[in-house]
Amino acid sequence: MGLERTASVLQNVATNFHIDVLQPIVEAAAEVCSVKYEYESDNGRRLRRITDHIRACTFSVHENVIPGPKKARYVIKRLLRRAVLDGHQMGMREPFLHQLVPAVASAMSAGYPELTETAQRVSEVIRKEESDFFSTIDAALERIESVFKSLKSSGGVMVDGGEAANLYQTYGVPPELFQTLAAERKLTFDWDGYRRAMKEHEDVSGGDKVKLFQTGPIETLKEALRRTDFLGYETVEAEAELKGIICIMDGQDRLVSELVGGTAEAQAVRVILDRSPFYGESGGQVGDTGTIEAAGMVFEVSDTQRAGELIVHSGTLVSGKLTEGMQVTAKVDPERRDGIRRAHSATHILHHALQSIIGEHAQQQGSKVDEDWLRFDFTNQQSLSDEQIESIESIVTEKVQTAEPISWHTVPLAEAREAGAMMLFGEKYPDPVRMVSMGEFSKELCGGTHLDNTGEVKQFEVIAEESVSAGTRRVVALTGQRARQHREQVQQLLGEAAQKLNCSSGDVAEHAKNLVLSTRSLKKQLAGGGASSDTPPQKSAGDAKDYLTQRAVLRDASRILNVSPQEIGHRIESLQEEQAKLRRQISELASGGDVSADALLEKATLAAGTAVVISETPGATPNLMRQWIDQIRQKSASPTAVMLASKVDKDKVLLVAGISKTLVERGLSAGKWIGKVAPVVGGGGGGKPDLAQAGGKLPDKIPDALEAAKQQIAQMLQ
């Protein structure tokens, strides 16, 4: 569907369609909501409103205008939430609007058959928005009703704007919807108060950022110079005249006629030329770096920005003197520029690949390109699978290998539209526009710098795919040198992991899985959960020869170990050390003989009618000791007082004490008991009256501590 055609549909959303076209949608809405359609009734009006709104939203989501917080997206959010409220007032408590999308596609099929192709995707987008609102609508309506009751009791007639702002931020209730509900009660709405409250919220949250270069010397230069001629499409080096120098003096920006290097003011300078090959950051492409030079003068450009039509070079005056009107040579860092060009051209190829694999709805929602690095946001509800990512990479690689020509021309907007250039719904484009073409597969409107052919991208590698917001995903990728370095790193990390696991590179993921499972099994064994069941080694797959297999193995190992690929080696070492420690503890536990709740209870001594169990339990963990104490308290026919001691590693002691509830009721405390004993082993601790834990650092004093425990409990029981 063309952009103009869709806009026409939306402009005529409430009219210009014969009732025979809308009737099936109204009837479908009545059926879904389980109500009878009666034209003059409240439900009849609600059903017609639902029909209009779901029709507008179906067309909009079809064109990738998905519900969101700003501009056209916010309009769709409002329409959907108003329709959800209508359904809620008719008794609907679950998402229902999405069920009407097929009815819209069918009713409009004569003029817009393409709607049926995207009906499933559109339904899912609408269902998600409905679910979000249904999760908060009851609480929101309860709050709104409370506001109305308060106004009625006080005789007020205006809904407080601050309250409306709070409802929007907390429950997602659009203020327009609140205003509509208020109007139904013959109440007015405080729009000024709402805007003030939202402004205060933006100020606190940092949402209202002051734009750079909006006042002061830059504004003066804008008026005097108007523009800087950009030469960067054709060259990375050019002669120019220095037109403006801005530095910081006394904490403020100052426009000066000359500046000497080596001074404090020379450390943060902005320079404006009459013409420049430097690209000022815009359209997601970062600004260029490089140098501006003249006889005896070197100015290092660390960033380039745009201020209106001026190109502003920020950096440091390294040597010499800047003088207004001097002739200079502006030199862009060519290697960095090439890396940026590779990344920018790759975003266009990636856009094509995404649409080829997941559908035409995968339209750009934002991007950023830096030296051999790119971030590309696009419309999609679900995350990409590994197979989809590999298919996307394959398409990009194919276009790189065929070295398709890249060209750009400034053409009238109508001509670009006729040529099929990609245009985003709701975006405003200048006329004429710069159209960048890549072979026959891509035409996009773009002001950035690009390669001469797709082969110059050299290499392309997706390194991340993630969510940005509802309905928007993000791909992060590398090109050129950084992609090559990433491949080398993958191979290095896989080799290191294979070495640590003592296996072939193709078996790293499987051995990592076995390591995790065997560690878990040892923990269960130590906790008394049964014998160890180490997973036997599987048949070796051998070394992973090709890069895609190597990357897949490393990715799987990363997921199994739940760490980034860079942390795999450390995680393997950590698990191996943990296993060694667990096996030592199990060995120490076994050397202590038959240690169990029953065995410990058999050693109990009676004191004042209380079963006292005081024992060393070599190798026992805190969880196991607490488990034994609980079991002893349950099994014993009389009140119990238990203290267990265990040597941990080489120089640590663990004490755990527990007493029965009846003893606690008599005023005894496990925390006080262990607090008297812990100093014997050079430590301290405490806890609840019925269960306490302490640590120490003198393992040789464990026998003395146990003797002290016996004396202390005897005194406490008396």
| Most confident residue range from 118-122, 146-150, 428-432, 503-507 | 503-507
d(CA 147, CA 157): 11
pTM of the model: 0.69
pLDDT, average across residues 194-200: 85
Nearest to 314, CA basis, from 223, 246, 397: 246
Q: Count the helix, strand and coil residues of the chain and give each as a percent rounded to the nearest 5.
A: 50, 20, 30
Ordered structural domains, the chain, with CATH: 3-156 (no CATH), 217-332 (2.40.30.130), 338-483 (3.30.980.10), 502-589 (no CATH), 593-717 (3.10.310.40)
Nearest to 343, CA basis, from 361, 320, 369: 369
Q: In this predicted structure, what is the pLDDT of residue 413?
A: 92
Phi, psi angles (nearest 5°) of residue 136: -125, -10
pLDDT for 364-411, tens place per residue? 888 999 999 999 999 898 899 999 999 999 999 999 999 999 999 999
Nearest to 238, CA basis, from 330, 342, 102, 350: 330
Question: Which residue in the block uniquely carries the two structure tokens 């420049």?
Answer: 276
Contacts of 1 (CB under 8 A, 6+ apart): 62, 63, 112, 114
Look at 567 and 17; give whichever has higher pLDDT: 567
Question: Which residue in the block uniquely carries the two structure tokens 């690209």?
Answer: 279
540-555 residues labelled b (16+ CB within 10 A) or e (exposed): ebeebeeeeebbebbe
Nearest to 135, CA basis, from 470, 427, 401, 366: 470
Q: Sorting pLDDT into bands at 50, 70 and 90, what band is 558? A: very high
pLDDT for 442-491, tens place per residue? 999 999 999 999 999 999 999 999 988 778 899 999 999 999 999 999 99
pLDDT for 96-143, tens place per residue? 999 999 999 988 888 888 888 888 888 988 998 888 888 888 888 888
What is the chain's mean pLDDT, rounded? 88
Q: Token digits for 84?
A: 């959800």
Q: In this predicted structure, what is the pLDDT of residue 538?
A: 63
Contact at 8 Å (CB) between 384 and 465?
Answer: yes
Contacts of 438 (CB under 8 A, 6+ apart): 345, 348, 349, 352, 399, 404, 405, 406, 454
DSSP helix/strand/coil, 478? strand
Listed range (34-48, 283-297, 412-426, 681-695) with the worst mean pLDDT: 412-426
Contacts of 565 (CB under 8 A, 6+ apart): 490, 493, 554, 555, 557, 558
